[in-house]
Structure 1
Amino acid sequence: MFLSRMRINLQSTLLVWIFYISIANCDVQISTHDIELTVGDQQHISLKISNYNEKEKQINLTIQHDDIVDVIPKTINIEKQNETFDILIKAIGAGHSNVYSTSPDLKDVYVRVTVNKEPALDTVSLVIGWIYFAAWSISFYPQIYINFRRKSVVGLNFDFLALNLIGFSLYSIFNIGLYFIDEIEEEYFARYPRGLNPVQLNDVFFAVHAAIATVVTIVQCFIYERDEQRVSITAKGIITVFAVFLSISTILVFCNVISWLDLLYYCSYVKLTITLIKYIPQAYMNYRRKSTVGWSIGNIFLDFTGGTLSILQMILNAFNYDDWISIFGDPTKFGLGLFSVVFDVFFILQHYVFYRHVEQI
Structure 2
Amino acid sequence: MNTIDLTSTGLWPIISNIVGWTYFLSWSCSFYPQTILNFRRKSVQGLSKDFLYYNVFGFLCYSIFNLAFFFSEEIKDEYRQRHGDNDNLVRANDVLFAVHAFLISLLTLWQTFIYKVSESDQRLSFTARLFLLTFLVFILVAIGTVLMGFIKWIDVLYFLSYIKLAISFIKYIPQLWMNYRRKSTIGWSIHNIILDFTGGLLSVAQLVLDAALSGDWSGITGDPVKFGLGFVAIAFDLLFMSQHYIFYRERFDYYLATEDSERQALLPGDRP
2:61 maps to amino acid: L
1:125 maps to amino acid: S
Residue 216 (structure 1) aligns with: 107
1:218 maps to amino acid: L
Q: Deviations over 1:228-282 (max 9, x none)?
A: 1111111111112211211111111111111112111111111111111111111
Matched, 1:309 2:173: no
Matched, 1:128 2:19: yes
Q: What pairs up with 1:299-338 in 2 under 5 angstroms?
A: 299-314=192-207, 333-338=226-231
Q: How far apart are 1:301 and its partner, in Å?
A: 0.9
CA 1:316–1:192 in 2, change beyond 3 Å: closer, same or farther?
Answer: closer
Residue 291 (structure 1) aligns with: 184
Contact 2:89–2:223, Cα closer than 8 Å, also in 1: no
Runs of 4+ in 1 over 6 A off after TM superposition: 318-332
Residue 248 (structure 1) aligns with: 141
Matched, 1:200 2:200: no
Residue 268 (structure 2) aligns with: none
Q: How far apart are 1:126 and its partner, in Å?
A: 2.6
Matched, 1:355 2:248: yes
Larger Rg: 1
Contact 1:117–1:320, Cα closer than 8 Å, also in 2: no
2:139 maps to amino acid: L
Q: Deviations over 1:107-129 (max 9, x none)?
A: xxxxxxxx948854443333222
SS of match in other structure, 1:199? coil
Question: Which of the numbers 264, 273, 276 marks the counterpart of 2:157?
Answer: 264
2:233 maps to amino acid: S
Contact 2:204–2:231, Cα closer than 8 Å, also in 1: yes
More strand by share: 1
Task: Tell me, in whole angstroms, the C-alpha distance in 2 between the residues paired with 1:312 and 1:192.
Answer: 21
Q: Deviations over 1:106-158 (max 9, x none)?
A: xxxxxxxxx94885444333322211111111111111101111001111101
CA 1:353–1:226 in 2, change beyond 3 Å: closer, same or farther?
Answer: same
* TM-score where L is the length of structure 2: 0.81
Ranges in structure 1 where 5+ consecutive residues have no aligned partner: 1-38, 42-114
Matched, 1:143 2:34: yes
2:136 maps to amino acid: A
Contact 1:155–1:295, Cα closer than 8 Å, also in 2: yes
Question: Which of the numbers 151, 156, 170 marks the counterpart of 2:47?
Answer: 156
Matched, 1:176 2:67: yes
State the structure with bigger RCO (CA 8 A, min sep 6), 1 or 2. 2
Question: Which of the numbers 150, 162, 165 marks the counterpart of 2:56?
Answer: 165
Contact 1:160–1:279, Cα closer than 8 Å, also in 2: yes
Task: Tell me, in whole angstroms, the C-alpha distance in 2 between the residues paired with 1:116 and 1:261.
Answer: 31
Count of residue pairs the alignment pairs up: 250
1:205 maps to amino acid: L
CA 1:192–1:353 in 2, change beyond 3 Å: closer, same or farther?
Answer: closer
Ranges in structure 2 where 5+ consecutive residues have no aligned partner: 257-272
More helix by share: 2
CA 1:311–1:175 in 2, change beyond 3 Å: closer, same or farther?
Answer: closer
* TM-score where L is the length of structure 1: 0.62
Q: How far apart are 1:40 and its partner, in Å?
A: 8.8
Identical-pair percentage: 50
Contact 1:117–1:321, Cα closer than 8 Å, also in 2: no
CA RMSD of aligned residues (A): 2.9
Q: How far apart are 1:330 and its partner, in Å?
A: 9.0
Task: Tell me, in whole angstroms, the C-alpha distance in 2 between the residues paired with 1:301 and 1:197.
Answer: 29
Residue 28 (structure 1) aligns with: none
Contact 1:147–1:220, Cα closer than 8 Å, also in 2: yes
